[in-house]
Structure formats: structure tokens, C-alpha cells
Structure 1
Amino acid sequence: MSDLHLRELPLAGLFSLQHKVHEDERGRFARLFCEGSLQAFGQPLHIRQINHSRTAQRGTVRGLHFQYPPHTESKLITCLRGAVWDVAVDVRQGSPTFLCWHAERLEAGDGRSLLLPAGFAHGFQALSEDAELLYLHSADYTPGFEGGLSVSDPRLAIDWPLPVLGLSARDAGHPLLGEDFQGVRL
């Protein structure tokens, strides 16, 4: 039996992962990543970079970030502390769900992760104080190939659960989508 169960979400290529959590009197254990298991499910993910973030204030939004070719990346997101509302936006050129978004609540200890394929923008809102995320990336961060979407873009109409707080200058500076935005060509 696998310690990992994948559930396909409404946007093609986007998955929720449920990790088997082993608990006893000592505490708990869960395997958060296994390249072989994902490969067996047809979702290969070779890790090039691991990032960790801590968001101090409830309501803070980070994102929405993506990278352009040839540096597109897949991501595996896991909440280590607190809770977040994790958002994926399809920016794949020609996709039937282009500019559609999907969100999942991730909470520390819930045994869940979100697997985003290349061509998706990612962001989240902290639903608790001191929310911590672990990000596994399939590509190195490459300045000059980064892209971003405005968290308040009316074309996306993301329904953030809390008032949006704490945007960085970079994230607040993402322009609204123009009719000329064609997305990411994979």
C-alpha cells in the first residue's frame, strides 16, 4: 500500500496529495515527498529547490507567482504550521481552464499537499498567525523569467476568504491582466 494518495482537482494537472500519517504515543510521522511514488502515479517531480516561508499575520497574501519558459516549474506545497488558503491559477496558453483558479485549505498536520504543474501561478492567504509553508520546486528560481498576477484582478475574481493584507511591494505591483496576456507556452 502506498503512503500517498493523489486526488485530481478541477483544473487538469492539479492534484491534492494525501499523505499517510503514522501516529503513536511518541508522536507522528508522514513521508511528504517520494519521487518514485509520484512517478508511479504518472506525475514525475524531480526536486531542484526547496523553500520555506513563514507568514506572521493572518490575512496576509503572498503571490500570485509563476515562471516563464524555459524555467517553468512544478511545485509541491505543504503547510507545516497554522493554516493557509492555497490558490493555483492556470496560466497555460491554450488550456481549456486558462485563467481559472482553484483553492484548497492546507493545515499543519492534515497530511495534505498541493501539487501544481508547470504553467500555474501560485499564491496563498494565511488563515492563521505564523503560517509556515514548505515548497518543493522542480526548477531553480530564475530572476528575469518570473511572472505575477494581481491578487485583486477582476478577470480572475479570486474569492479570498479574508480581507487581503500585507502584500509585498512586488506583489502589489503586478498589473491587471490585459487582453494581450497569452499566458505561458509550455
Structure 2
Amino acid sequence: MLLTQTSLQGAFLIDLEQRQDTRGFFARTFCQEEFSAHGLKSTIVQCNLAFNYKKGTLRGMHYQVAPATEVKLVRCTHGAIYDVIIDLRPESPTYKLHIGVELTAQNRRALYVPEMFAHGYQTLTDAAEIVYQMSEFYAPEYQSGLRYDDPAFGIEWPLPISEISQKDTCWSLFETVLNSTHVQPV
């Protein structure tokens, strides 16, 4: 695996180091030792699969708060997505910054999403399939999210939105979350 630090502290792009021969190739997609050597959390307790019917579908911006903060390793296994993460760690030098990357079945790239990063994506193709490896079990009582169109971040999604859940249209704006007494980024 080739791990490349992104412009957001602690977030990495993971490319395959392919071993090719006449049959095709073989590549490692996860290695606990390599993750640990880069200071990354290497525990995986759950794997999830998301399938999206339509190009332009948007999911996000989701995260879990303490005591159930989670790391995600996200890979697109069919089609293509524009994957976005936002650093919500107040002590981080990249606090409130975001990046977007294309994850496709062709580039086989993965994105390592640290704890307390909001995560979301938009499908760039019909029939996009995404695999998530998670460091924590899903805990709905610690789930939170931010609006995909929050002006505090200015995310530029590449396509018009064709599908989005009611829940994802109703997340609070960042300023509201910061000033609330319930679930907050910490």
C-alpha cells in the first residue's frame, strides 16, 4: 500500500501497490502493521456496503461523537464518487477545512477518515457501490451530521443533487451545532 498524507492532518489517501503478472494483479488493501507505522488507528470492527442507484446521489455529512468516535476507511468498488471530509477537531491545525477526492473502481483508491471528521459523498455514476471499514460499531445515539450545503465550509459538489435523504437535508448548520448544548464536535 502507498499511504499519502492529504492536506488535512491525519487523513490519508491509500493507493494499491500492485504485484502484476500474466494473470492480473494482487494488492493489499489493509495492513494493521502499516497503518500503525503511520500512526493510524488500525482496529476494524465493522464493514458496511452502500449501493446508490442514481448519479448525483448525495450522502452526508456524517460523524459520530465521543464515546463512539470512529475512523472510516472508504473505497468505491463500482462506479465513482466524489468523497468529502471536514476536520471537526478544534485542536487541529486543519480545523474546519475540507477536501474532496474522487474514489473510483478504476483508481481503486481509498480514503482514511480520522475520528471527528464529517464524511459524505456524491455519486458520479449510476450504480455506485462503496465499502466502508469502521473502527467502531454504529451507535445511533452518538450519530451527528452537518448540512451538505453549509456556507461555513463552501463545499462545491460536482453535480446537481439527484437524490438525498430527508435526514441529510435537515442536519444543522455548523454554527448551530457549535452553540448547542446537545451533540457537539469536541
Whether these two folds match at TM > 0.5 is yes
Q: Distance in 2 between matches of 1:169 and 1:102?
A: 24
Which of 101, 104, 124 is equivalent to 2:121?
124
Q: What displacement does 1:75 show?
A: 0.7
Alignment of 1:37-116 (within 5 A): 37-116=34-113
What residue ranges of structure 2 are gaps of 5+ in the alignment?
none
Q: What displacement does 1:34 show?
A: 1.2
Give per-residue Cα distances to partners, 1:134-166, cap 9 Å, x unaligned.
100000000110010100111111010111221
Q: What displacement does 1:179 show?
A: 5.4
1:176/1:44 CA distance change after superposition, 3 Å = closer
Contact 2:35 2:41 in 1 (8 A): yes
Give per-residue Cα distances to partners, 1:4-40, cap 9 Å, x unaligned.
1111111101110111123444343322111122112
More divergent stretch after superposition (19-28 vs 67-76): 19-28
Aligned: 1:32 with 2:33 = no
Letter of the 1:37 counterpart: E
Letter of the 1:86 counterpart: D
Task: Tell me which residue corresponds to 1:22.
Answer: 19
Contact 2:178 2:185 in 1 (8 A): no
Give per-residue Cα distances to partners, 1:72-94, cap 9 Å, x unaligned.
00111111011110000111123
1:23/1:82 CA distance change after superposition, 3 Å = farther
Task: Tell me which residue corresponds to 1:184.
Answer: 185
Task: Tell me which residue corresponds to 1:155.
Answer: 152
Q: Distance in 2 between matches of 1:172 and 1:49?
A: 26
What residue ranges of structure 1 are gaps of 5+ in the alignment?
none
Aligned residues: CA RMSD: 1.5
Q: Distance in 1 between matches of 2:19 and 2:129?
A: 21
Letter of the 1:122 counterpart: H
Identity of aligned residues (%): 37
TM-score (norm 1): 0.91
Q: Matched residue of 1:147: which SS? A: strand
Q: Matched residue of 1:178: which SS? A: helix
Q: Matched residue of 2:34: which SS? A: helix
Structure number with higher helix proportion: 2
Contact 1:99 1:156 in 2 (8 A): yes
Contact 1:20 1:111 in 2 (8 A): no
Q: What displacement does 1:180 show?
A: 5.6
1:180/1:88 CA distance change after superposition, 3 Å = closer
Letter of the 2:69 counterpart: T
